[in-house]
Structures are given as structure tokens and as C-alpha cells.
Amino acid sequence: MRRLLLPALVLVLGCSATPQAPQVAPRGLVRAGTPDAVNLALARAKEKNQLFTWHSFSPETFARARAERKFILLDGAASWCHWCHVMDETTYHDERVGRLLNEKFVAIRVDIDERPDIGERYVDWGWPATILLSPDAEEIGKYRGYLPADELLPILEAIAQADAEGSGKAPDPARIVPSPEAMPWIAARVSIDMDRYFDREEGSWGDFQKSPLGANVLFELRRAGHGDDLARRRAVFTLEKQRAILDPVWGGIYQYSAGSTWAEPHYEKLMPYQAANLEAYAAAHKATGRKELLEDARGIARYLSTFLSNAEGAFLVSQDADVGAHEPGKPFIDGDVYYRLDDAGRRNLGVPRVDDHVYAYENGLAIAAMCMLFEASGDKDVLARAERAAALVTASHVGTDGAVEHDAKARSPVHYLADAAGLGRALVRLFEVTQNAAYREAALRIADAMEKTLLDTTTGAFFAHTNDPSAVGVFARRERPFASNTLAARFLAGLGRITGDQTFGARAKRTLGAIASPRGVAEQGRMVGEFLLALDEAGVFPWPGAR
């Protein structure tokens, strides 16, 4: 039931290298050639009402679905997601879809940045991700990307006619955990597989969609440090080619390019991409001495401080691709139109919405990246910026027991692995560049809480979140996400570096072994750079001459 995202992206986002005049619609501007069916400004001008209500992801909502024997539509969305906004204004304002959802379904919307466990569970399916569940919250179907009304409607109709009592329970999939002796072989195999994805014409990895994979670049630079000159050339070539999706006006890097070249950018700016590529450009300057790479890094850092920071100094989450997507009463300006303008032209139309939540995970990524920029540049202002954010977030998000809150303003009894691993690794990096023991002690407290509350002792991997007694159905079965476990392994390996305690390295190896099943690694495709970095930092990568 998996639906590929690429055809829709090519249809709607395709553009030539030569800018075309924007297409004027009654309620805004969109890129030239945008089909009417997905023209958000045109859809908004029709002023249709949504005929159903979005409900929260809560025990009460699931209890209602179970009591009323209604199926569940779960919409995994993001505040920065262009196609989520389009689906809102088109598919979910379609009268046929709205009536059916109102009568036969309970519709739930989840912001995947607010709920990283849901984001990790369905990352392969979106965004937006459309997940259909039984009244008992068991998965029925999963659909990726934008679904027009004519495609979603027959799916909903078929489910609405089914027997609500007939859905089975999905099993918890078994993990095939490799032996410790196999880990160096797996590391070598994954690095070879990553090489096969490399695009010799355009740089980066993969050619169906160009993505700025900062972790892959960092691993290439790690290889270069072991004498691999080809890896160094691949890293620099990639950073030069992807410069086409660096914002030349405000700085920062766009999320990806929809086509096989860098000429079709998708304009969202997400912290994970900003941090990974800031770190990659800074590390590349450190390795090569090339000043233009340092300037690229500084441009991303400047964007973070200007747009993805609050007045107190904490880092924020993301910035939309478009203007007006969250304000139905105002004109909608497509990002392809907007980001071609200069600073004055942009500000005259407004500023794309910034998600101003302060999450531990995103702050951890930004702080660690700033540490790399400080190492590359020696700029004390950069270090001060990282330390300011760390002071704020550790004070507001980290309990005395080391438990890390996702959002300090919306405290929850559930804590997430991504937050602990991301912020913990950032504190390790701060200790490495400052030798301030307070950072080491805070990192150790976080690691202790992470082990006590998130470790799955049967496998050695970490759960995505702490136990949630209110969770039902599929959500009551905690997952062991690949990406967050990889970050946790990097955190633990870093603690081994700064404490000299070899047990941390052993725990990092344990975690990597637990997620390194053939299926788990294969599912990552080209996005394996951080896993390879973790293997290296845990001391299992088989470098030439290593024993």
C-alpha cells in the first residue's frame, strides 16, 4: 500500500533553470505552471468549509473511536510541510471526503515535530503521511505524500464498508541481531553500498532527488582523514554542487531539490538539515583549508541566529517554504516565487512562518554543529552562541534525574530518545571544545536516565520513548528507531572519549549491533552517513591497517 512521492513532486515542483513569471491566483501567487488541482491559492479562493473536525492524539480520542466503532484516519503533518498545506486546502476541503470522515471516521492530526515518536514511526510514509487504523488503533493502511481527493475517497469508502470488528493485530517484528564479530564486516558493507549511491555528475547520493546529506559528507571526510583522497574529493564536490540550494539572501539550506539536479529546490528549512550541513561545511574547511567552505558554514550559522533562534538564545525548529500557509485569510505566496526575491522583496510580502517551539533534539543538533564551526574557525562568538543555547535548554528541559523534556512549555510524562541522545551528544561536544566539567556531568546524568528509562534490555537497543500507559493499539508497542539509536550510540561513544570509561564504548557497540539487522540497514538506503560515523566512533570500523 506504499505510495511513491516522486511522481507528484515532479509534476508540481518541476521548473526550468530560467525563472518564469509567477502565476497570479485570486488569493496569492504560485509558481508558473502549477496545476489547478494543487494550486493552494486557487483552492483558498473557493472558500470551502472543512466538514469534519481534527481531533488530538489523546487517550480520549482513541477511546471515542473504540466506543463508537469508528475507523481512524491519522494525518502525520508538519508545520513547515508544503504538501501538507496543499492537502489541507484541497483534499480535506473536498465535500465528499469531508462528509465521509465526519460520519465514519475519527480524524486525528499529529505535528510530527511535537511528537517525534510518531514522526519516527511513520517517517517512511510522508509528509504528509496518511495512516488508517481500526477502531482499536491497529494499522490497516499507510499512504505516503499528497493524496488528491479522488485517490483518498475510494480508500476511505472501502474501509468504511468493512467490518469494524474484523481487524487483526499486527505482530511486533523480530530483529535479527548480528554478532559482535560481524560488525566490522557490516561497516565495510554499508560503506560500499553508500558508494554505489554516489552521483558523479551532481554530487551527493542518489539521483532521483537531490538531498544535502551532511552526515554522508562528514563520513567521507572521516575517510579522508584515513588517507582516502577520493573520499575527500567526493565530499568537496558534493558541497560545491549543493551550494545551489543554499539561500543566497538569508543563508541556510533548503530541504532538497525535487529533480535529479540541484535546480528544483523545495524551500523548507529544517533544523536537522541546517545542523548537519553546517557541520559538514565547517569540517570540510577544517580538513582542506578552503575559505569558501567556511563562508558557506558561516552563512548557515548566520541564518540560525537570525531566523531559527528566539530572543533568549534557544534554537527553533523550522521555517516554512511558503508565506501565508498558516493564515487562511491572507494571500498565499509559493516558496518558488518568494525565495527568488531579494531581502526587501521578500519582507514586503511577509516572512514565512517559523516554528518557534524549543525542542531539546533540535537544540542539541544546532549546538553540536556550532561546536564544529568553532573548531574550524576559532570564532569565540560561535562558541558563545552554542553555550548560551545549552545553558537555556539544560535549565529548562533537563530534570535533576537527567530526564530530558521534549518541550519544556508542554511538559509530558513521556520522554523521547531523540531528545536525550541529541542534547547529550551536544553536551559531549561542548566539553570537548571547552573542557568545562559541568557539560560532562550533565551529559552523564542524561545517559544514566536514558539507560534506566529507555533501554530495551532484551535487544540492547533503545525505545523511541518512555512507557506511555495511555497508549493504545499499535502505539502501545514501542519501537526501536534506527536513526535515534544511531544518535544514542554516538552520544555513548562520545562519553567514552571524554571520560576514558570503556564501558560507554561497549554500550555504543551494543546499541549499534541491536539495530544493524539486514532489514534495518537496508531500509536506510543512501542515508547511512550517521550510522557509519557511529560505527567509527564506537571503534568498530575496519579502517585499512586497523586491528
* Under 8 Å between Cβ of 466 and 489: no
Tell me the angle at which helices 360-377 and 417-434 cross, rounded to the nearest 10 degrees.
Answer: 20
**Domain 6-160 listed as CATH 3.40.50.1100:** no
Residue with cell 530526564: 403
Amino acid 170: pLDDT: 33
Amino acid 3: pLDDT: 33
* Under 8 Å between Cβ of 242 and 297: no
Containing 44, the helix (H) or strand (E) segment is: helix 40-45
- Taking CA atoms, 253 is separated from 110, 382, 436, in Å, by 26, 19, 32
* Under 8 Å between Cβ of 514 and 179: no
**Domain 359-515 listed as CATH 3.40.30.110:** no
* Under 8 Å between Cβ of 105 and 72: yes
Alpha carbons 347 and 328: distance in angstroms, whole number: 19
All three cell numbers of 181: 564479530
Please give the distance of CA 76 from its chain centroid, rounded to a whole number. Answer: 13
The model's pTM: 0.86
Provide φ and ψ at 296, rounded to 5°. Answer: -60, -45
What one-character-per-residue DSSP string does 349-380 give? H----EE---BHHHHHHHHHHHHHHHHHH--H
Alpha carbons 335 and 329: distance in angstroms, whole number: 18
Spatial neighbors of 410 by CB under 8 A, at least 6 apart, are 114
Query: CB 103: neighbour CB atoms within 10 A?
Result: 11
Each residue's pLDDT, cut to its tens digit, for the chain (547 residues) gives 333 332 223 223 323 334 566 665 566 787 777 888 888 888 888 889 999 999 999 999 999 999 999 999 999 999 999 889 999 999 999 999 999 999 999 999 999 999 999 999 998 887 899 999 999 999 988 998 888 998 899 999 988 876 544 443 333 333 455 666 678 878 888 898 899 999 999 999 998 899 999 999 999 999 999 999 999 999 999 999 999 999 999 999 999 999 899 999 999 999 999 999 999 999 999 999 999 999 999 999 999 999 999 999 999 999 999 999 888 888 899 999 999 999 999 999 999 999 999 999 999 999 999 999 999 999 999 999 999 999 999 999 999 999 999 999 998 999 999 999 999 999 999 999 999 999 999 999 999 999 999 999 999 999 999 999 999 999 999 999 999 999 999 999 999 999 999 999 999 999 999 998 777 788 899 999 999 999 999 999 887 754 3
- Taking CA atoms, 293 is separated from 237, 278, 281, 308, 429, in Å, by 11, 10, 5, 21, 21
Residue with cell 493502511: 141
Q: Where are the beta strands (DSSP E) in 82-239?
A: 105-111, 129-133, 139-144
- Taking CA atoms, 540 is separated from 98, 179, 473, in Å, by 53, 12, 38
* Under 8 Å between Cβ of 362 and 270: no
**In the chain, domain spans:** 6-160, 359-515
In sequence order, the β-bridge partners of residue 225 are none
Query: CB 92: neighbour CB atoms within 10 A?
Result: 23
Amino acid 33: pLDDT: 76
Amino acid 25: pLDDT: 58
Name all contacts of 465-468 with Cβ < 8 Å and 24+ positions apart. 465/116, 465/117, 465/414, 465/415, 465/416, 465/417, 466/413, 466/414, 466/415, 466/416, 468/413, 468/414
Between the CA atoms of 37, 41, 43 and 49, what dihedral angle is there, to the nearest 10 degrees?
150
Alpha carbons 486 and 495: distance in angstroms, whole number: 14
Alpha carbons 110 and 47: distance in angstroms, whole number: 24
All three cell numbers of 240: 560545491
Alpha carbons 543 and 102: distance in angstroms, whole number: 59
Provide φ and ψ at 22, rounded to 5°. Answer: -60, 150
